[in-house]
Structure 1
Amino acid sequence: MKVLRWLAKNFGTLLTAFILAIIVWVSAVIASDPNEEHVLDRPVPIEIIGQDPSLQIMGDVTRNVTLVLRARASVWTTLNKDQHTVTAKVDLSNLGPGEHTVPVQVQITPHLVRQISQDPQQLTLTLDSIASQVFPVNLVVTGNPPVGYQAQTPLVDPIEVTVTGPESQISKLKQLRLSMDITNANQTLIRDEIPLLLDANGQAVSGLTISPESVTVTQPITLLGGYRYVIVRAVSAGQVATGYRVTNIFVTPVGVVVFSSNPELVNNLPGYVETQPIDLAGKEDDFETLLDLNLPTGISVVGDSKVLVQVSIATIETSLAISLPVEVIGLAPGLSASSAPAIVNVILSGPVPVLNTLGPTDVRVVVDLTGYDVGTFQFIPQVNILPERVQKVSILPAMVEVTITITPTPTQTSTPTGTAAPAQTPLPTGTP
């Protein structure tokens, strides 16, 4: 009874203390984890749901929503990184063709997160029915083949394609056009092309797909009667200089069209025509020349009657082994040097004419002793070659041993000298 009376007497005080404790606890929690208001760092993608498969959204529609949220500081990291915490969607259920304005619905998973604002609040979009229609393919051929050739009727496969897309776009479509330029075409052309979808003004219509995606166009190109395409064969005469060889002969053009009023003449050709002989006598370098074709009587060339012939000439490479003394350079005064071995073998490679004319001073094997004093050293000899296009292949041995010594001073030998006896003067002889 006393306890009950005490509680009844102090109930107000106890309730006040309890409320104050809760306020203090809430204040402490808020102080340690305050609410913050920010723009969500990441854009939230808008999910389209409920769209009728037979309808298509026309034009560009905003696909993201920007949000301003209020939440505790500890929650913001999760909101910014986890894409599942905040989502947005637009429901197109039961909507038919036409323009519609629909709300953007935002869902926030974490509790105690308040949405302050969003942009956009709603989307305005247009739905159009998807349709398919078959259209013929219109081929436009421009240009003409060269003289002697003719273009036959082109083939288009398939001749019709199915166009799929919004009805409003298909209603604008008037033709599917393919273009092929056959200017200077001298052989049948086969190409896979994607038709252009054009309206009545020749402008492209977008937002449509075609099936199949491409069309194969075959444009036959054939020769007229009396005309024939033949290969040009280069004919040479003479020999290049000794030690040289022909590496290649290029002819431009590689083939020509010939004509005869008598078709039998061109039909009897072996498939090629020859040039006038190319003079190779004594040639050492690449050269080019214009040559006439050697044509049978009654046959002429359509166009230029000359061809450009380019001849590539190279030297014949070989190798040569020679023995050379090791020369010492850069030796300080008062010193002498000897090499072991004193003679090395050098293998050279280069054009035959150059190697055949090598002189004794054209190739040297040297060892540079600049800065070296008395002692024994190993060196890799240096091969100095004067003629161009000659290269060192190897040197045997690859290293030499050089011994540097002090040059001995020569000693002078003294010659003994004596006193010369005076010459005797002959006595005069008397005259009897």
Structure 2
Amino acid sequence: MQKITRYIPTFLLALALSVAVWILAITAEDPAEVRAYPYPVSIEIIGQDPSFLLTNEPAKTLTINLRAPRSIWTNLLTDKSSVRAVVDLSGMSAGPHTVPVQIQIAQRPVEIVSYSPSNVDVKLEPLSNRSLPITLVVRGDPAVGFRADTPEMNKTSTIVSGPESTVKRVQVVRAVLDQSQAHEDIEQTVTLQALDNNDLPVSGVTLNPDRVQITEKIIQRGGYRNVVVKVETTGILANGYRLTNISAYPPSVTVFSTDPKIVDSLPGYVETIPINLAGLKEDKDMRISLNLPPGVSIVGDQTVNVQVGVSTIDSSVTLNGMRVEIIGVGQGLQAKPSPEFVDVIISGPIPLLDNLLASDVHVYVDMTDDLAGTYQRKPQVEVRIPDLKLQSIIPGSIQITLESKITTLTPTIPNGKGPE
């Protein structure tokens, strides 16, 4: 037994040496490396009491340096979720706190060399709720000849929620209704505003509800009435032109009479003084008076703007038997088109078509750089009158044969004598 005991130190030393040799071998094959983790690590807040709110902006990410074998680094870079940074607020009360950041690494073995920040500052404040009435503010006036009834809201109060100190700053919750120039009933959804003593918006709070539905009746006063403007015209446009648009702005006006019966008897519209369209060939913009019954006047501007849109009537004309000119034929070649003549259909405004001559249209085929042979080509058409365009050509393509020119030789008669 004593002999065995005597060899224990030697055995332990041999074991330690073998372990050291094994570690050195492993390290040599998979050396440890110190690197900066290349991805920002988000700082997670956990354990926060739901009755408190975080009222400051602590750091959201940190940087970290790690020591790990090369093989572990491969795993770290592949799995970004293996490195976490956590700030635990469990059990913390209201007030400012400096909380250490806890690093959690799923891979092993990894040594944390350094990280920044190592602590974060947080400020917790009790969550507060407060009910406040909604104050309605009405701005502007309805259109002339109208009056507004008392507006109504579908909600009269709201709950203000947020950090206690911020909720205390809210002194009024306001809804603003703009009724400027209104001439019909109003139904609007209005977003509520949380304001402090200085009438400035308070941020960092939520309102429930955060908007209200407001309805308000707009009533026309006696003697006033809204009527449509009807544009009256005389004469006809120039030949070959058509009317594309005729409109008045504003499309309706408010009229007034000291005798409400006169206004009520109107047919729902008033006519303009007739506009003469005779010979008109282009758009026109003009101010026109209204033809009002006696005792009736317009509220506001006494004229309306009338826009008249005019365009040409498009048609088409067919030019039959137009010769096809062959251009660009190489030296020593001659061209034989088949067919030699085509029909061309030209479209455009009628006044221009009425003056169109065959000489205004050039039909050709360009054979530049083409060698002897037979080709199928689409004729090109040049229309020399602007605003007229080619509609179609019949046939759409022709055959062109390029061939050598044939030279006719005159026989030579010996001694200048002709045949006997």
Please give the TM-score of this superposition, normalised by the length of structure 1: 0.84
1:365 and 2:363 equivalent? yes
Match of 1:428 in 2: none
1:167 and 2:164 equivalent? yes
- Secondary structure (helix, strand or coil) at the match of 2:24 reads helix
**Amino acid corresponding to residue 152 of structure 1 in structure 2:** D
Match of 1:269 in 2: 266
Instruction: Assess if the C-alpha contact under 8 Å between 1:336 and 1:407 holds in 2.
Output: no
1:384 and 2:382 equivalent? yes
Instruction: Assess if the C-alpha contact under 8 Å between 2:349 and 2:388 holds in 1.
Output: yes
- Secondary structure (helix, strand or coil) at the match of 1:87 reads strand
Match of 1:78 in 2: 75
Deviations along 1:308-366, one digit per CA (max 9) or x if unpaired, are 11111122222222212223444567765443222211222222222222223122322
Instruction: Assess if the C-alpha contact under 8 Å between 2:72 and 2:109 holds in 1.
Output: no
Distance 1:397 1:25, change over 3 A: same
The total of aligned residue pairs comes to 412
Match of 2:417 in 1: none
Among 271, 289, 295, the residue aligned to 1:298: 295
Q: How does 1:112-261 map to 2 (within 5 A)?
A: 112-261=109-258
**Matches of 1:408 and 1:108 in 2, distance apart?**
99
- Secondary structure (helix, strand or coil) at the match of 1:265 reads helix
**Amino acid corresponding to residue 352 of structure 2 in structure 1:** V
Match of 1:325 in 2: 323
Deviations along 1:102-161, one digit per CA (max 9) or x if unpaired, are 333333344443333343333432322223222111222223234323333222221211
Unaligned runs of 5+ in 2: 414-420
Distance 1:23 1:345, change over 3 A: same
1:395 and 2:393 equivalent? yes
Among 76, 83, 87, the residue aligned to 2:84: 87
- Secondary structure (helix, strand or coil) at the match of 2:358 reads coil
**Matches of 2:395 and 2:180 in 1, distance apart?**
67
**Matches of 2:293 and 2:176 in 1, distance apart?**
41
**Amino acid corresponding to residue 134 of structure 2 in structure 1:** V
Shift of 1:13: 7.0
- Secondary structure (helix, strand or coil) at the match of 1:25 reads helix
**Matches of 1:83 and 1:339 in 2, distance apart?**
76
Shift of 1:101: 3.7
Match of 2:282 in 1: 285
Unaligned runs of 5+ in 1: 415-432
Match of 1:350 in 2: 348
**Amino acid corresponding to residue 26 of structure 2 in structure 1:** V
Instruction: Assess if the C-alpha contact under 8 Å between 1:172 and 1:205 holds in 2.
Output: yes
Please give the TM-score of this superposition, normalised by the length of structure 2: 0.86
- Secondary structure (helix, strand or coil) at the match of 2:262 reads helix
Shift of 1:194: 1.6
CA RMSD in angstroms comes to 3.1
- Secondary structure (helix, strand or coil) at the match of 1:304 reads coil
Distance 1:372 1:263, change over 3 A: same
Distance 1:110 1:281, change over 3 A: closer
Distance 1:361 1:161, change over 3 A: same
**Matches of 1:75 and 1:255 in 2, distance apart?**
79
Shift of 1:274: 0.6
